[in-house]
Amino acid sequence: MQKSNPKKPVRPARKQSVQPGLEEVMNPAPVFEKSNTKNGKLHNKVAVITGGDSGIGRAVAVAFAKEGADVAIAYFNEHTDAEITCEHITFAGRECMLIAGDISNEKHCNDIVKKVIKKFKKIDILVNNAAVQYPQESITDISAAQLHKTFETNIYPHFYLTKAALPYIPKGGSIICTTSVTAYRGSSHLIDYSSTKGAIVSFVRSLSASLSEKGIRVNGVAPGPIWTPLIPATFTAEEVAKFGTDVPLKRAGQPVEVAPCYVFLASNEASYLTGQILHPNGGEIING
């Protein structure tokens, strides 16, 4: 019986030292847009996107702008990435607002909403997207400090920002949360990260039921392996080189291949969807 060949590297083995990572130094660079086509699905909407400086967040921000939305990007400290994203938004003819800071701090989340309302007067779309991950071989390697950091970054801000933004989100508004394929299949080396992503699925389902009478839809996106700065910032060079080759499509996805899910969920085309999760994951079969 012929043995299958081990996974071959599909990109250079490179690692970054600090997360969330910088898109400006990635090689190859993630693909976050395809064309300058404008369709107006989000005409004159205002969107707030956490982690909107790079990766999936950047692709979503640019896609929203092309569909007619003004965009406020909340990010940590990746200023160059954020400025590049902002340039693409303004090139699409929309306004961009950059807000740096730590979203694990509830006061900062409240300040984000205050600044957005002061500038744009409304919030139509909230995208809870920012996250961190710290791979460990065993649960015994996960310190209390790491556990706290993962949860306070990945799930607490969903509560903080939703609570702060809710008074300004009108009927027909949309809240979209980024969960992960790991919420469904688990991950032996990302136990705490996967746990937060599972919590986000429950958050989406519970909040959608809570807000249905207000006419505010709440949905999520569960990406599989996507080529973003978080990958070289958290995995070894060898893991980076083979990242994404274990899914049916045999490659990592690009942020631009995920962004249409968010556009759809934010638009009126998804007017009958709430409490749902979309799965751009390269072909993995998901139950749940």
Spans of the chain below 70 pLDDT: 1-8, 10-11, 13, 31-38, 288
Query: Domain for residue 144, yes or no?
Result: yes
pLDDT at residue 166 in the model: 98
Query: Domain for residue 18, yes or no?
Result: no
Query: Domain for residue 222, yes or no?
Result: yes
Whole-angstrom distance, CA of residue 33 vs CA of residue 56 = 11
Write down the pTM of the prediction. Answer: 0.87
At residue 9, the 3 state secondary structure works out as coil
pLDDT at residue 13 in the model: 67
pLDDT at residue 132 in the model: 96
Sorted by sequence, the CB contacts under 8 Å of residue 249 that are 6+ apart come out as 282, 283
Q: What is the DSSP string of 85-141?
A: HHHHHHHTT--EEEEES-TTSHHHHHHHHHHHHHHHS--SEEEE--------SSGGG
Query: Domain for residue 192, yes or no?
Result: yes
pLDDT at residue 222 in the model: 98
In this structure, what token pair is assigned to residue 224? 């599989």
pLDDT at residue 256 in the model: 96
> Domain count of the chain?
1
Domain around 240: 43-278
Whole-angstrom distance, CA of residue 31 vs CA of residue 155 = 27
CATH of the domain at 179: 3.40.50.720
Catalytic residue among 75, 156, 168, 193: 193
Query: Domain for residue 17, yes or no?
Result: no
pLDDT at residue 3 in the model: 43
Query: Domain for residue 123, yes or no?
Result: yes
Query: Domain for residue 149, yes or no?
Result: yes
Whole-angstrom distance, CA of residue 46 vs CA of residue 85 = 16
What does residue 87 show for φ and ψ, rounded to 5 degrees?
-60, -40
Q: What is the DSSP string of 62-91?
A: HHHHHTT-EEEEEESS-HHHHHHHHHHHHH
Whole-angstrom distance, CA of residue 223 vs CA of residue 256 = 12
Q: What is the phi-psi region of residue 68: left when phi exceeds 0, alpha when psi lies from -120 to 50, beta otherwise? A: left
At residue 1, the 3 state secondary structure works out as coil
Q: Based on the residue annotation, tell me whether 193 is a catalytic residue of this protein.
A: yes
Query: Domain for residue 247, yes or no?
Result: yes
